[in-house]
Protein backbone atom coordinates (compact mmCIF):
# COMPACT_ATOMS: atom_id res chain seq x y z
CA UNK A 1 0.00 0.00 0.00
CA UNK A 2 1.68 3.23 -1.13
CA UNK A 3 2.01 5.98 1.44
CA UNK A 4 0.87 9.36 0.13
CA UNK A 5 1.12 12.71 1.91
CA UNK A 6 -1.66 15.25 1.36
CA UNK A 7 -1.03 18.77 2.64
CA UNK A 8 -3.94 21.16 3.12
CA UNK A 9 -3.59 24.83 2.19
CA UNK A 10 -3.10 25.79 5.84
CA UNK A 11 -0.29 23.26 6.21
CA UNK A 12 -2.24 20.46 7.91
CA UNK A 13 -0.63 17.21 6.81
CA UNK A 14 -2.35 13.88 6.27
CA UNK A 15 -0.33 10.76 5.57
CA UNK A 16 -2.53 8.04 4.16
CA UNK A 17 -2.04 4.39 3.35
CA UNK A 18 -3.55 4.57 -0.11
CA UNK A 19 -5.12 1.72 -1.97
CA UNK A 20 -3.67 1.05 -5.41
CA UNK A 21 -6.17 0.80 -8.23
CA UNK A 22 -8.46 3.44 -6.72
CA UNK A 23 -8.33 7.10 -7.65
CA UNK A 24 -6.40 9.58 -5.54
CA UNK A 25 -9.72 11.40 -4.99
CA UNK A 26 -11.39 8.27 -3.60
CA UNK A 27 -8.41 7.54 -1.39
CA UNK A 28 -8.56 11.07 0.02
CA UNK A 29 -12.29 10.75 0.70
CA UNK A 30 -11.93 7.28 2.23
CA UNK A 31 -9.36 8.73 4.63
CA UNK A 32 -11.52 11.76 5.47
CA UNK A 33 -8.97 14.25 4.16
CA UNK A 34 -10.68 17.66 4.02
CA UNK A 35 -10.24 19.91 1.00
CA UNK A 36 -11.41 17.51 -1.71
CA UNK A 37 -15.09 18.14 -2.47
CA UNK A 38 -15.58 15.75 -5.41
CA UNK A 39 -19.06 17.04 -6.18
CA UNK A 40 -19.58 14.92 -9.31
CA UNK A 41 -18.36 11.75 -7.64
CA UNK A 42 -15.27 11.21 -9.75
CA UNK A 43 -16.55 11.71 -13.27
CA UNK A 44 -14.12 14.39 -14.43
CA UNK A 45 -17.10 16.68 -14.70
CA UNK A 46 -16.93 19.30 -11.94
CA UNK A 47 -13.34 20.25 -11.11
CA UNK A 48 -13.80 20.17 -7.31
CA UNK A 49 -11.09 17.59 -6.56
CA UNK A 50 -8.32 19.88 -7.75
CA UNK A 51 -4.84 19.26 -6.32
CA UNK A 52 -1.19 20.04 -6.99
CA UNK A 53 1.24 17.20 -7.55
CA UNK A 54 4.57 17.99 -5.94
CA UNK A 55 7.51 18.28 -8.30
CA UNK A 56 9.24 15.07 -9.42
CA UNK A 57 5.99 13.08 -9.19
CA UNK A 58 4.49 14.34 -12.44
CA UNK A 59 6.01 11.53 -14.41
CA UNK A 60 4.48 8.87 -12.21
CA UNK A 61 1.01 10.43 -12.32
CA UNK A 62 1.12 11.21 -16.04
CA UNK A 63 -0.38 14.24 -17.76
CA UNK A 64 -3.98 15.44 -17.91
CA UNK A 65 -6.31 14.45 -20.77
CA UNK A 66 -8.19 17.12 -22.77
CA UNK A 67 -11.47 16.99 -20.75
CA UNK A 68 -9.58 17.31 -17.48
CA UNK A 69 -7.45 20.05 -18.96
CA UNK A 70 -10.54 22.02 -19.97
CA UNK A 71 -11.91 21.85 -16.41
CA UNK A 72 -8.58 22.83 -14.90
CA UNK A 73 -8.53 25.77 -17.29
CA UNK A 74 -11.54 27.22 -15.46
CA UNK A 75 -9.68 27.39 -12.15
CA UNK A 76 -8.33 30.83 -11.23
CA UNK A 77 -5.63 29.13 -9.13
CA UNK A 78 -4.42 26.68 -11.76
CA UNK A 79 -0.69 25.95 -11.87
CA UNK A 80 1.53 23.82 -14.09
CA UNK A 81 1.26 20.93 -11.64
CA UNK A 82 -2.54 21.12 -11.26
CA UNK A 83 -4.49 17.87 -11.61
CA UNK A 84 -7.95 16.55 -10.85
CA UNK A 85 -7.40 13.83 -8.28
CA UNK A 86 -10.25 11.73 -9.69
CA UNK A 87 -8.19 11.25 -12.83
CA UNK A 88 -5.12 9.86 -11.05
CA UNK A 89 -5.21 6.13 -10.40
CA UNK A 90 -3.01 5.32 -7.45
CA UNK A 91 -0.21 2.83 -8.14
CA UNK A 92 2.49 1.32 -5.95
CA UNK A 93 5.00 3.61 -7.63
CA UNK A 94 3.35 6.56 -5.89
CA UNK A 95 4.75 5.49 -2.53
CA UNK A 96 6.14 8.66 -0.92
CA UNK A 97 4.29 11.07 -3.23
CA UNK A 98 3.41 14.53 -1.89
CA UNK A 99 0.19 16.26 -2.97
CA UNK A 100 -0.84 19.78 -2.03
CA UNK A 101 -4.47 20.87 -1.80
CA UNK A 102 -5.71 24.25 -3.00
CA UNK A 103 -7.03 27.13 -0.93
CA UNK A 104 -10.56 26.42 -2.17
CA UNK A 105 -12.50 24.22 -4.55
CA UNK A 106 -15.03 25.65 -6.98
CA UNK B 1 -49.78 25.59 -27.88
CA UNK B 2 -53.19 24.85 -26.48
CA UNK B 3 -53.26 26.32 -23.03
CA UNK B 4 -56.91 25.67 -22.27
CA UNK B 5 -56.64 21.88 -22.25
CA UNK B 6 -55.87 20.03 -19.10
CA UNK B 7 -52.51 18.34 -18.81
CA UNK B 8 -52.39 14.78 -20.14
CA UNK B 9 -52.51 11.81 -17.79
CA UNK B 10 -48.93 10.86 -16.96
CA UNK B 11 -49.68 7.15 -16.61
CA UNK B 12 -51.91 6.40 -19.60
CA UNK B 13 -50.71 8.84 -22.23
CA UNK B 14 -48.34 7.29 -24.83
CA UNK B 15 -44.82 8.65 -24.47
CA UNK B 16 -44.89 10.15 -27.94
CA UNK B 17 -47.69 12.44 -26.82
CA UNK B 18 -45.82 13.91 -23.85
CA UNK B 19 -44.90 17.57 -24.32
CA UNK B 20 -42.06 18.20 -21.92
CA UNK B 21 -41.77 21.76 -23.19
CA UNK B 22 -45.25 22.63 -21.90
CA UNK B 23 -44.50 25.23 -19.19
CA UNK B 24 -47.72 24.33 -17.36
CA UNK B 25 -46.06 21.08 -16.27
CA UNK B 26 -43.79 23.18 -14.12
CA UNK B 27 -46.19 25.95 -13.20
CA UNK B 28 -48.55 23.29 -11.82
CA UNK B 29 -45.69 21.24 -10.35
CA UNK B 30 -46.97 18.20 -12.25
CA UNK B 31 -43.72 17.09 -13.89
CA UNK B 32 -42.55 14.29 -11.56
CA UNK B 33 -44.49 11.29 -12.94
CA UNK B 34 -43.77 12.31 -16.53
CA UNK B 35 -40.02 12.27 -16.00
CA UNK B 36 -40.20 9.14 -13.82
CA UNK B 37 -41.78 7.31 -16.76
CA UNK B 38 -39.20 8.59 -19.20
CA UNK B 39 -36.28 7.60 -16.98
CA UNK B 40 -37.77 4.13 -16.74
CA UNK B 41 -39.07 3.56 -20.26
CA UNK B 42 -37.17 5.83 -22.62
CA UNK B 43 -34.42 7.79 -20.86
CA UNK B 44 -33.10 9.41 -24.04
CA UNK B 45 -36.36 10.44 -25.61
CA UNK B 46 -37.16 12.07 -28.93
CA UNK B 47 -40.12 14.44 -29.11
CA UNK B 48 -40.91 15.07 -32.76
CA UNK B 49 -43.24 18.04 -32.27
CA UNK B 50 -43.34 20.92 -29.83
CA UNK B 51 -43.85 24.69 -29.93
CA UNK B 52 -40.04 24.87 -29.94
CA UNK B 53 -39.61 22.25 -32.67
CA UNK B 54 -38.36 18.70 -32.23
CA UNK B 55 -35.89 17.92 -29.45
CA UNK B 56 -34.26 15.11 -27.49
CA UNK B 57 -34.74 14.83 -23.73
CA UNK B 58 -31.90 13.38 -21.66
CA UNK B 59 -33.38 12.39 -18.30
CA UNK B 60 -30.87 10.26 -16.37
CA UNK B 61 -28.12 11.69 -14.18
CA UNK B 62 -25.23 9.76 -15.78
CA UNK B 63 -26.39 10.57 -19.30
CA UNK B 64 -26.67 14.27 -18.49
CA UNK B 65 -23.07 14.18 -17.26
CA UNK B 66 -21.97 12.35 -20.42
CA UNK B 67 -23.62 14.85 -22.76
CA UNK B 68 -22.40 17.85 -20.86
CA UNK B 69 -18.76 16.78 -20.73
CA UNK B 70 -18.72 16.08 -24.48
CA UNK B 71 -18.74 19.63 -25.80
CA UNK B 72 -17.14 18.52 -29.05
CA UNK B 73 -20.29 16.56 -30.05
CA UNK B 74 -22.83 18.60 -28.07
CA UNK B 75 -22.32 22.30 -28.63
CA UNK B 76 -23.59 25.16 -26.48
CA UNK B 77 -23.97 27.30 -29.57
CA UNK B 78 -26.15 29.03 -30.66
CA UNK B 79 -28.11 28.97 -27.38
CA UNK B 80 -28.63 26.92 -24.23
CA UNK B 81 -32.39 27.03 -23.73
CA UNK B 82 -34.99 24.97 -25.50
CA UNK B 83 -36.19 27.81 -27.74
CA UNK B 84 -34.03 29.67 -30.21
CA UNK B 85 -32.87 33.27 -29.84
CA UNK B 86 -35.20 36.02 -30.94
CA UNK B 87 -33.94 38.02 -33.90
CA UNK B 88 -34.45 41.49 -32.44
CA UNK B 89 -31.86 41.00 -29.71
CA UNK B 90 -29.16 38.61 -30.91
CA UNK B 91 -27.17 38.61 -27.67
CA UNK B 92 -24.02 36.56 -27.25
CA UNK B 93 -22.92 35.16 -23.93
CA UNK B 94 -20.18 32.80 -22.83
CA UNK B 95 -22.62 30.21 -21.52
CA UNK B 96 -23.66 29.82 -25.18
CA UNK B 97 -20.13 29.58 -26.57
CA UNK B 98 -17.84 26.60 -26.90
CA UNK B 99 -14.18 26.47 -25.96
CA UNK B 100 -11.86 28.22 -26.58
CA UNK B 101 -13.88 31.48 -26.79
CA UNK B 102 -16.01 30.47 -23.81
CA UNK B 103 -12.94 29.82 -21.69
CA UNK B 104 -11.30 33.21 -22.14
CA UNK B 105 -14.50 35.15 -21.42
CA UNK B 106 -15.41 33.10 -18.38
CA UNK B 107 -11.92 33.32 -16.96
CA UNK B 108 -12.21 37.10 -16.98
CA UNK B 109 -15.09 37.16 -14.49
CA UNK B 110 -14.52 33.95 -12.55
CA UNK B 111 -12.21 35.51 -9.90
CA UNK B 112 -15.17 37.60 -8.63
CA UNK B 113 -16.93 34.48 -7.40
CA UNK B 114 -13.92 32.46 -6.31
CA UNK B 115 -14.21 31.51 -2.61
CA UNK B 116 -11.19 33.66 -1.80
CA UNK B 117 -12.99 36.78 -2.98
CA UNK B 118 -16.27 35.63 -1.44
CA UNK B 119 -14.74 35.28 2.00
CA UNK B 120 -14.06 39.01 1.94
CA UNK B 121 -17.73 39.64 1.18
CA UNK B 122 -19.17 37.39 3.87
CA UNK B 123 -19.60 40.03 6.54
CA UNK B 124 -21.21 42.42 4.06
CA UNK B 125 -23.66 39.73 2.94
CA UNK B 126 -24.43 38.86 6.54
CA UNK B 127 -25.17 42.47 7.42
CA UNK B 128 -27.54 42.72 4.45
CA UNK B 129 -29.27 39.47 5.36
CA UNK B 130 -29.76 40.58 8.96
CA UNK B 131 -31.15 43.94 7.81
CA UNK B 132 -33.66 42.15 5.59
CA UNK B 133 -34.72 39.69 8.29
CA UNK B 134 -34.93 42.30 11.05
CA UNK B 135 -37.27 44.33 8.90
CA UNK B 136 -39.83 41.52 8.44
CA UNK B 137 -43.26 41.64 10.07
CA UNK B 138 -43.66 38.97 12.75
CA UNK B 139 -46.99 37.16 13.13
CA UNK B 140 -48.63 38.45 9.96
CA UNK B 141 -48.85 36.93 6.50
CA UNK B 142 -46.51 38.27 3.81
CA UNK B 143 -44.92 37.14 0.53
CA UNK B 144 -41.50 35.58 1.24
CA UNK B 145 -40.51 35.86 -2.44
CA UNK B 146 -40.70 39.66 -2.50
CA UNK B 147 -39.54 40.53 0.95
CA UNK B 148 -36.69 38.04 1.32
CA UNK B 149 -35.68 36.03 -1.74
CA UNK B 150 -35.72 38.79 -4.34
CA UNK B 151 -34.37 41.37 -1.96
CA UNK B 152 -31.46 39.19 -0.89
CA UNK B 153 -30.30 38.06 -4.33
CA UNK B 154 -30.71 41.43 -5.97
CA UNK B 155 -28.72 43.19 -3.28
CA UNK B 156 -26.01 40.59 -3.71
CA UNK B 157 -25.96 41.12 -7.43
CA UNK B 158 -25.73 44.88 -6.98
CA UNK B 159 -22.73 44.25 -4.74
CA UNK B 160 -20.99 42.06 -7.31
CA UNK B 161 -21.48 44.64 -10.06
CA UNK B 162 -20.93 47.55 -7.69
CA UNK B 163 -24.23 48.72 -9.16
CA UNK B 164 -25.85 51.88 -7.70
CA UNK B 165 -27.52 50.44 -4.62
CA UNK B 166 -30.63 52.61 -4.81
CA UNK B 167 -31.40 51.20 -8.27
CA UNK B 168 -30.91 47.55 -7.41
CA UNK B 169 -34.56 46.67 -8.13
CA UNK B 170 -33.81 47.29 -11.82
CA UNK B 171 -31.60 44.22 -11.83
CA UNK B 172 -34.56 42.07 -10.79
CA UNK B 173 -36.66 43.55 -13.55
CA UNK B 174 -34.03 42.95 -16.22
CA UNK B 175 -33.49 39.42 -14.95
CA UNK B 176 -37.21 38.68 -15.30
CA UNK B 177 -37.27 40.16 -18.80
CA UNK B 178 -34.23 38.19 -19.90
CA UNK B 179 -35.56 34.84 -18.68
CA UNK B 180 -39.22 35.42 -19.45
CA UNK B 181 -39.34 35.23 -23.24
CA UNK B 182 -42.16 33.03 -24.57
CA UNK B 183 -40.17 32.03 -27.67
CA UNK B 184 -37.08 31.04 -25.77
CA UNK B 185 -38.36 29.60 -22.53
CA UNK B 186 -42.16 29.50 -22.55
CA UNK B 187 -42.56 32.59 -20.36
CA UNK B 188 -45.06 35.43 -20.67
CA UNK B 189 -43.08 38.66 -21.18
CA UNK B 190 -44.01 40.59 -24.37
CA UNK B 191 -41.25 41.05 -26.92
CA UNK B 192 -41.76 44.80 -26.96
CA UNK B 193 -41.37 45.19 -23.22
CA UNK B 194 -38.35 42.93 -23.36
CA UNK B 195 -36.66 44.94 -26.08
CA UNK B 196 -37.27 48.29 -24.38
CA UNK B 197 -36.17 47.05 -20.97
CA UNK B 198 -33.04 45.28 -22.10
CA UNK B 199 -32.00 48.24 -24.22
CA UNK B 200 -32.17 50.33 -21.06
CA UNK B 201 -30.10 47.67 -19.31
CA UNK B 202 -27.41 47.92 -21.97
CA UNK B 203 -27.38 51.74 -21.83
CA UNK B 204 -27.11 51.75 -18.05
CA UNK B 205 -24.22 49.31 -18.03
CA UNK B 206 -22.48 51.07 -20.93
CA UNK B 207 -22.49 54.26 -18.87
CA UNK B 208 -21.21 52.40 -15.84
CA UNK B 209 -18.40 50.93 -17.95
CA UNK B 210 -17.23 54.37 -19.08
CA UNK B 211 -17.54 55.94 -15.62
CA UNK B 212 -15.57 53.10 -14.10
CA UNK B 213 -12.70 52.98 -16.57
CA UNK B 214 -9.31 52.86 -14.92
CA UNK B 215 -10.20 51.45 -11.50
CA UNK B 216 -7.28 49.26 -10.60
CA UNK B 217 -8.17 47.79 -7.26
CA UNK B 218 -11.79 46.75 -7.58
CA UNK B 219 -13.03 43.17 -7.86
CA UNK B 220 -16.46 44.06 -9.19
CA UNK B 221 -17.48 42.23 -12.35
CA UNK B 222 -17.24 45.25 -14.64
CA UNK B 223 -13.75 46.17 -13.49
CA UNK B 224 -12.64 42.57 -13.89
CA UNK B 225 -13.84 42.55 -17.49
CA UNK B 226 -12.07 45.83 -18.16
CA UNK B 227 -8.77 44.59 -16.75
CA UNK B 228 -8.71 41.27 -18.63
CA UNK B 229 -7.15 41.73 -22.10
CA UNK B 230 -9.68 39.29 -23.61
CA UNK B 231 -12.68 41.36 -22.55
CA UNK B 232 -11.16 44.84 -22.21
CA UNK B 233 -13.02 46.03 -25.32
CA UNK B 234 -16.27 44.16 -24.64
CA UNK B 235 -18.23 47.40 -24.50
CA UNK B 236 -17.45 47.87 -28.20
CA UNK B 237 -19.40 44.66 -28.89
CA UNK B 238 -22.77 45.60 -27.39
CA UNK B 239 -24.60 42.32 -28.02
CA UNK B 240 -21.77 40.40 -26.41
CA UNK B 241 -21.55 42.82 -23.50
CA UNK B 242 -25.31 42.67 -22.96
CA UNK B 243 -25.34 38.89 -23.32
CA UNK B 244 -22.70 38.40 -20.66
CA UNK B 245 -24.39 40.90 -18.35
CA UNK B 246 -27.69 39.07 -18.68
CA UNK B 247 -25.94 35.79 -18.07
CA UNK B 248 -24.50 37.11 -14.82
CA UNK B 249 -27.77 38.80 -13.84
CA UNK B 250 -29.98 35.77 -14.45
CA UNK B 251 -27.34 33.39 -13.15
CA UNK B 252 -26.99 35.32 -9.91
CA UNK B 253 -30.64 36.09 -9.44
CA UNK B 254 -33.27 33.68 -10.71
CA UNK B 255 -31.36 30.77 -9.29
CA UNK B 256 -30.60 31.59 -5.66
CA UNK B 257 -33.83 33.56 -5.41
CA UNK B 258 -35.82 30.40 -5.99
CA UNK B 259 -33.67 28.23 -3.76
CA UNK B 260 -34.18 30.80 -1.01
CA UNK B 261 -37.93 30.25 -1.38
CA UNK B 262 -37.76 26.53 -2.12
CA UNK B 263 -35.95 25.83 1.15
CA UNK B 264 -38.80 27.33 3.18
CA UNK B 265 -41.32 25.28 1.26
CA UNK B 266 -39.32 22.06 1.53
CA UNK B 267 -38.90 22.37 5.29
CA UNK B 268 -42.61 23.03 5.72
CA UNK B 269 -43.52 20.02 3.60
CA UNK B 270 -41.09 17.91 5.64
CA UNK B 271 -41.59 18.90 9.28
CA UNK B 272 -39.34 16.09 10.49
CA UNK B 273 -36.45 17.66 8.62
CA UNK B 274 -37.26 21.07 10.10
CA UNK B 275 -37.04 19.44 13.55
CA UNK B 276 -33.63 17.99 12.70
CA UNK B 277 -32.45 21.45 11.69
CA UNK B 278 -33.77 23.05 14.89
CA UNK B 279 -31.89 20.44 16.91
CA UNK B 280 -28.63 20.83 15.01
CA UNK B 281 -27.66 23.98 13.15
CA UNK B 282 -24.55 22.24 11.81
CA UNK B 283 -26.90 20.68 9.28
CA UNK B 284 -27.26 24.02 7.49
CA UNK B 285 -24.30 23.34 5.19
CA UNK B 286 -25.50 19.95 3.88
CA UNK B 287 -29.07 21.28 3.84
CA UNK B 288 -28.09 24.07 1.48
CA UNK B 289 -26.89 21.54 -1.09
CA UNK B 290 -30.02 19.48 -0.56
CA UNK B 291 -32.20 22.56 -1.12
CA UNK B 292 -30.39 23.32 -4.37
CA UNK B 293 -30.91 19.72 -5.52
CA UNK B 294 -34.54 19.56 -4.42
CA UNK B 295 -35.37 22.89 -6.02
CA UNK B 296 -33.31 22.62 -9.23
CA UNK B 297 -33.84 26.32 -10.03
CA UNK B 298 -32.75 25.93 -13.63
CA UNK B 299 -34.59 22.92 -14.99
CA UNK B 300 -32.64 22.32 -18.16
CA UNK B 301 -29.79 23.30 -20.41
CA UNK B 302 -29.79 22.60 -24.11
CA UNK B 303 -27.05 21.47 -26.45
CA UNK B 304 -27.02 21.13 -30.24
CA UNK B 305 -25.44 18.09 -31.89
CA UNK B 306 -22.44 19.05 -34.03
CA UNK B 307 -22.50 15.73 -35.91
CA UNK B 308 -24.45 12.51 -36.18
CA UNK B 309 -23.81 10.54 -33.01
CA UNK B 310 -25.15 7.37 -31.44
CA UNK B 311 -25.96 7.94 -27.78
CA UNK B 312 -27.46 5.24 -25.53
CA UNK B 313 -28.69 3.38 -28.58
CA UNK B 314 -30.35 6.43 -30.11
CA UNK B 315 -29.24 8.02 -33.34
CA UNK B 316 -28.93 11.74 -32.71
CA UNK B 317 -28.42 13.71 -35.91
CA UNK B 318 -26.33 16.75 -36.60
CA UNK B 319 -28.30 19.88 -35.72
CA UNK B 320 -30.70 18.14 -33.31
CA UNK B 321 -31.55 19.90 -30.08
CA UNK B 322 -30.56 17.90 -27.01
CA UNK B 323 -32.16 19.03 -23.75
CA UNK B 324 -30.54 17.87 -20.50
CA UNK B 325 -33.20 17.87 -17.81
CA UNK B 326 -31.35 18.63 -14.57
CA UNK B 327 -34.72 18.45 -12.86
CA UNK B 328 -35.00 14.79 -13.82
CA UNK B 329 -31.35 13.97 -13.13
CA UNK B 330 -31.89 15.15 -9.57
CA UNK B 331 -34.72 12.62 -9.14
CA UNK B 332 -32.82 9.71 -10.69
CA UNK B 333 -32.88 6.86 -8.17
CA UNK B 334 -30.06 5.06 -9.96
CA UNK B 335 -27.71 7.82 -8.79
CA UNK B 336 -29.44 9.43 -5.79
CA UNK B 337 -31.08 7.33 -3.08
CA UNK B 338 -34.63 8.33 -2.12
CA UNK B 339 -34.33 11.00 -4.77
CA UNK B 340 -37.86 12.32 -4.34
CA UNK B 341 -37.34 12.92 -0.63
CA UNK B 342 -35.93 16.04 1.00
CA UNK B 343 -33.26 14.83 3.45
CA UNK B 344 -31.12 17.55 5.02
CA UNK B 345 -28.47 15.18 6.38
CA UNK B 346 -28.10 13.21 3.15
CA UNK B 347 -24.81 11.34 2.73
CA UNK B 348 -23.49 12.99 -0.45
CA UNK B 349 -25.53 16.19 -0.68
CA UNK B 350 -23.21 17.88 -3.17
CA UNK B 351 -23.74 15.09 -5.69
CA UNK B 352 -26.55 16.71 -7.68
CA UNK B 353 -27.10 18.03 -11.20
CA UNK B 354 -28.37 21.54 -10.42
CA UNK B 355 -25.03 23.20 -11.24
CA UNK B 356 -24.50 21.21 -14.43
CA UNK B 357 -21.16 19.66 -15.35
CA UNK B 358 -18.10 20.26 -17.47
CA UNK B 359 -16.69 23.62 -18.49
CA UNK B 360 -20.10 25.31 -18.23
CA UNK B 361 -20.73 24.16 -14.66
CA UNK B 362 -22.26 26.97 -12.62
CA UNK B 363 -19.59 29.58 -12.03
CA UNK B 364 -21.30 31.11 -8.99
CA UNK B 365 -22.03 27.87 -7.17
CA UNK B 366 -19.98 28.79 -4.12
CA UNK B 367 -21.60 32.20 -3.93
CA UNK B 368 -25.05 30.61 -4.09
CA UNK B 369 -24.18 28.22 -1.30
CA UNK B 370 -22.73 30.98 0.83
CA UNK B 371 -25.78 33.21 0.46
CA UNK B 372 -28.14 30.39 1.39
CA UNK B 373 -25.97 29.29 4.30
CA UNK B 374 -25.90 32.80 5.75
CA UNK B 375 -29.63 33.20 5.17
CA UNK B 376 -30.41 30.03 7.13
CA UNK B 377 -27.88 30.76 9.88
CA UNK B 378 -29.59 34.09 10.47
CA UNK B 379 -33.14 32.71 10.14
CA UNK B 380 -32.39 30.10 12.81
CA UNK B 381 -31.11 32.86 15.15
CA UNK B 382 -34.46 34.61 14.95
CA UNK B 383 -37.40 32.39 14.12
CA UNK B 384 -38.61 29.05 15.43
CA UNK B 385 -40.77 28.59 12.36
CA UNK B 386 -41.10 30.26 8.97
CA UNK B 387 -44.58 28.88 8.47
CA UNK B 388 -46.01 28.47 4.97
CA UNK B 389 -49.65 29.50 5.23
CA UNK B 390 -50.86 29.06 1.65
CA UNK B 391 -50.05 27.50 -1.69
CA UNK B 392 -47.12 28.94 -3.66
CA UNK B 393 -47.73 30.46 -7.05
CA UNK B 394 -45.14 29.09 -9.46
CA UNK B 395 -43.42 30.64 -12.47
CA UNK B 396 -44.65 29.75 -15.96
CA UNK B 397 -41.47 28.61 -17.69
CA UNK B 398 -39.69 25.61 -19.16
CA UNK B 399 -36.38 26.94 -17.88
CA UNK B 400 -36.66 28.63 -14.49
CA UNK B 401 -38.27 26.58 -11.74
CA UNK B 402 -39.38 29.33 -9.48
CA UNK B 403 -42.00 31.07 -7.40
CA UNK B 404 -44.01 34.23 -7.85
CA UNK B 405 -45.36 34.07 -4.31
CA UNK B 406 -45.08 32.07 -1.12
CA UNK B 407 -47.26 33.30 1.75
CA UNK B 408 -45.60 32.82 5.12
CA UNK B 409 -45.97 33.80 8.75
CA UNK B 410 -43.01 34.18 11.10
CA UNK B 411 -42.87 32.76 14.61
CA UNK B 412 -40.14 34.26 16.80
CA UNK B 413 -37.84 32.08 18.91
Interval B373-386 mean pLDDT = 98
Cα–Cα distance for residue pair B227/B229, rounded to 1 Å: 6
Segments making up each domain of chain B, as ranges: 53-412
pLDDT at B213: 85
Identify all chain A residues contacting B71, using CB atoms and an 8 Å cutoff: 70
Whether B185 has a pLDDT exceeding 80, the answer reads: no
Interchain proximity A106–B365, CB inside 8 Å: yes
Alpha helices in B42-114 (DSSP H): 61-68, 101-109
Query: Cα distance from A93 to chain B (closest Cα, Å)?
Result: 30
Interchain proximity A37–B107, CB inside 8 Å: no
pLDDT band at B91 (very low <50, low <70, confident <90, very high): confident
Chain B's closest residue to A68, CA to CA, is B358
Average pLDDT, chain B: 92
Find the range with the poorest average confidence among B32-41, B158-167, B264-273, B397-406: B158-167
Q: pLDDT for B81-90, tens place per residue? A: 998 877 777 8
Interval B189-208 mean pLDDT = 92
Q: Is the dihedral of CA B160, B161, B164, B168 positive or negative?
A: negative
Could you say which of B71, B103, B115 has the minimum Cβ distance to residue A104?
Answer: B115
Q: Quick check: A99 and A54 in contact, CB under 8 A? A: yes
Residues in chain A whose beta carbon is closer than 8 A to a beta carbon of chain B?
Answer: 37-41, 43-48, 67, 70-71, 73-74, 76-77, 103-106
Q: Tell me the pairing of strands A3-7 and A98-100.
A: parallel
Taking the domain A3-100, which CATH number applies?
3.10.20.30
In this complex, how many residue pairs, one in chain A and one in chain B, have their CB atoms less than 8 Å apart? 61
pLDDT band at A9 (very low <50, low <70, confident <90, very high): very high
Interchain proximity A74–B107, CB inside 8 Å: yes
Find the range with the poorest average confidence among B241-245, B337-341, B375-379: B241-245
Whether B1 has a pLDDT exceeding 50, the answer reads: no
Interchain proximity B358–A41, CB inside 8 Å: no
Whether B37 has a pLDDT exceeding 80, the answer reads: yes
Q: Which CATH number does the domain B53-412 belong to among 3.90.1150.10, 1.10.287.110, 1.10.630.10, 3.10.100.10?
A: 1.10.630.10
Peptide bond into B100 cis (omega under 30): yes
Interchain proximity A70–B110, CB inside 8 Å: no
pLDDT at B145: 97
Find the range with the poorest average confidence among A9-18, B108-117, B245-254: B108-117
Query: Cα distance from A28 to chain B (closest Cα, Å)?
Result: 15
Q: What is the ipTM of this complex?
A: 0.91
Find the range with the poorest average confidence among B146-160, B194-208, B210-224: B210-224
Cross-strand bridge partners of residue A83: A51
pLDDT at B4: 55
What is the share, in percent, of chain B residues with pLDDT greater than 70?
Answer: 99
Chain A's closest residue to B359, CA to CA, is A71
Q: pLDDT for A33-66, tens place per residue? A: 999 999 999 999 999 999 999 989 999 999 999 9
pLDDT at B2: 46
Strands (E), B265-406: 300-305, 309-311, 314-316, 321-325, 383-388, 393-394, 403-405
Q: Quick check: A58 and A77 in contact, CB under 8 A? A: no
pLDDT at B231: 86
Cross-strand bridge partners of residue A53: A99
Residues with Cβ within 8 Å of B11's Cβ and at least 6 positions away in sequence, in order, are B33, B37
- Indicate the DSSP class of residue B394: E
Whether B137 has a pLDDT exceeding 80, the answer reads: yes
Interchain proximity B99–A77, CB inside 8 Å: no
Amino acid sequence: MPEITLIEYDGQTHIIEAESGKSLMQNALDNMVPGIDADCGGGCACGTCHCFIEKNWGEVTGASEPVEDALLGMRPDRKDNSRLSCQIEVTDEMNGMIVRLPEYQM
Amino acid sequence: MNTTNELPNSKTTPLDQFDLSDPRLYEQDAWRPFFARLREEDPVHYQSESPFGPFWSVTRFADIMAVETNHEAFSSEPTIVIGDLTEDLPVEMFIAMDPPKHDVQRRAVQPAVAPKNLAQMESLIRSRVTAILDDLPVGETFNWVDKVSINLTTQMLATLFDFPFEDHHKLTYWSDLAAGSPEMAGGNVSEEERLVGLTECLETFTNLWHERKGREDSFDLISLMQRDPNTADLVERPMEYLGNLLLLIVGGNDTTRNSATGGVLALNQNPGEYDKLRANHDLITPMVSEIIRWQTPLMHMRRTATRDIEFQGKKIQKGDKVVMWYLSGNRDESTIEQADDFIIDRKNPRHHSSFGFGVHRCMGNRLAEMQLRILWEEIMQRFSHVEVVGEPQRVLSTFVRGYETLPVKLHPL
